A and B are shown apart, each in its own frame.
Chain A
């Protein structure tokens, strides 16, 4: 039994019309993205199995209702409501005690202390931030727009998407992505808030669309045979640019949605994955990225889909572990191992990498029957070059005394755009243009990303904690440390070749070899140590936030050298221990405490917002 586009006749006709429009637009040089043909692929759902699933869900609901202590649940909600009302009353009282000038200041420019938004043991804040009348109105508009986009995207193939929600634990974390947006923009106002929202929207749109594609392709859900033939999966740490030459295929970074990105949204997502794979005997000091990827395979958290899989040794050899697990779990999926030379600075190794890329293209052609198109590749790379030019403009502004586009939203956007999008989505260019205009106007007006809060210029080095993606936001709000740039943003910025085919492949190889993290953690210690000091000077950073994850062996080997060079230069370096995707080892609070301690004892500084020095978010998303 099939319930999908062909059963919903109306939807099918609509999709056909859309596809015709898209073809016209493509002929006019304005292609639709993602290819409308992907949405139109029919699903082949096994409704007998889905019926069984629904029965199971029903049974659980009945059991839950029987077992649930409704009285206790209601009492808890009443207690929360009372607490909310008490907080409201307190805030009203505080407002009445303010002078008219102070009240006007809060009304127009927002509240100054943010610690009161947290409540012990809660996953969500008590309320959203009051950013001032105009900025709260803008925030509200973006909130509505985000929900609308999420709901309309999911409704493009609702049944498989809903089924996925009932099957995969990680899907539920995406429901809270709007809350994640709030965390990333906390304290931001004016142009900074607008830029953050614009960038976050593009990332979430990409995620929502790919979540639906995952649901459509998954053999347990949509099981779309037609779409699966067009889907090329690649390791989440492998850049997507290679798919630029295959415009009729859909490249999906396989573990990005179930593991990597969701771990930034919800700090607890990867815990079951890590526990599962460690129960098989994997040492606990292994990098949590491949550990989580393997754990996700062990507990069946990854969809069964696609025509082939491109694995890689990127950013470091930990990824090969996940690749072998992947082959073992889905032996029906042909795998190509894309493994680039580590010593990438020796130009003679680039030829090896080019051979690897050629092999990969041939592999995709053989498996899918698609043909590599140089026209499509060059078109996308031209777009990517334009995006890189915009990126460099951001860096120039951030290096001045008036940095504009900083914070977690920007960092996330940079990584996503560089690694996953890579110029594929033409809708991203207008975002770049809008953000650039806003940034330049804000720069001319000498605005501050966090108004009246900037005290220190900071730089982040080494791999950051996923479970505290908005750490730089806290640094800015609590201590006035504005993170101008993170190591993971500083990647390959050379203009890629868009005419000569051989040179284009050489450039593609260079790009891949210098991907996020790999650019610094591979190829010799000077890429980490010397490069860090060069960047510190270039950005005129006063404080270095140095992440330390015991599982990152490449970085751990250099800890002593980094310490020694820092002492020699008499620079401020704050080591922040973390466990990448496992908040149980080092909690967010412990990470904050390291900064609090350093700022008080070494810098003798006073916090910008003392209410943020100590608060509870152990359970918070």
Chain B
């Protein structure tokens, strides 16, 4: 009796694991086949990052004197 119960529990776990594995596989395959990774990067991440880079405060090289060699310039 105990053995059968144990067997059924093991079977359930195996089935569940296989099911989850199959779902994960199918999901990942969809991401791969429809290039969802590329689409996420291009449609969402890239516009945000572009905006971020455009708005970042950066050293303006046009204002740096030609001869200037100091620590501030090197940062």
Contact = CB atoms under 8 A, between A and B. Distances in A.
A375 interface: no
Contacts of B58: 299-300
B42 to A, nearest CB: 4
A77 B38 contact: no
B66 to A, nearest CB: 9
B49 to A, nearest CB: 5
B52 A128 contact: no
B33 A127 contact: yes
Contacts of B55: 60, 63
B48 A298 contact: no
B41 to A, nearest CB: 5
Contact of A64 (B33, B45, B48): B48
Contacts of A56: 56-57
Contacts of B45: 172, 175
Contacts of A60: 51-52, 55
Contacts of B61: 276, 280, 298-300
Per DSSP, are chain B's interface residues mostly helix, strand or loop, or mixed? helix
A9 interface: no
A123 B57 CA distance: 27
Interface in B21-36: 28-29, 32-35
B74 to A, nearest CB: 6
A179 B48 contact: no
A144 B41 CA distance: 16
A166 B33 CA distance: 29
B1 interface: no
A147 interface: yes
Contacts of A125: 35, 38
A621 B61 CA distance: 28
A330 interface: yes
Contact of B53 (A64, A169, A175, A280): A169
B58 to A, nearest CB: 6
Contacts of A80: 43
A354 B48 CA distance: 50
Contacts of A127: 33-35
Contact of B32 (A143, A298, A299, A621): A143
Per DSSP, are chain A's interface residues mostly helix, strand or loop, or mixed? helix
B35 A124 contact: yes
B59 interface: yes
B74 A172 contact: no
A176 B38 contact: yes
Contact of A176 (B42, B43, B69): B42
B43 A77 contact: yes
Interface in A281-331: 298-300, 304, 330-331
Interface residues of A, number: 45
Contacts of A165: 49
Given A57-B52, A299-B61, A179 B74 contact: no
A58 to B, nearest CB: 10
A143 B37 CA distance: 11
A143 B34 CA distance: 13
B63 interface: no
A80 B38 CA distance: 14
B55 to A, nearest CB: 5
A128 B35 CA distance: 6
Nearest to A52: B57
Contacts of B59: 300
A40 interface: no
A33 interface: no
A125 to B, nearest CB: 6
Contacts of A176: 38, 41-42
B28 A144 contact: yes
B42 A304 contact: no
B27 to A, nearest CB: 12
Interface string A236-272: 0000000000000000000000000000000000000
B46 A172 contact: yes
A14 interface: no
Given A147-B37, A172-B49, A219-B75, A128 B69 contact: no
B48 A124 contact: no
Nearest to A619: B42
A125 B29 CA distance: 16
A308 B56 CA distance: 29
B29 to A, nearest CB: 6
B39 interface: yes
Contacts of A353: none
A343 to B, nearest CB: 36
A17 B51 CA distance: 42
Contacts of A485: none
A219 B74 CA distance: 10
B71 to A, nearest CB: 9
Nearest to A621: B42
14 contacts: A57-B52, A63-B55, A77-B43, A80-B43, A124-B42, A128-B33, A144-B32, A165-B49, A172-B46, A176-B42, A299-B61, A300-B58, A300-B61, A304-B75
Given A77-B43, A176-B41, A330-B74, 8 more contacts: A64-B48, A64-B51, A124-B42, A126-B35, A136-B33, A166-B52, A175-B41, A276-B61
A-B pairs, top 3 by smallest CB distance, nearest first, are A124-B38, A123-B42, A169-B53
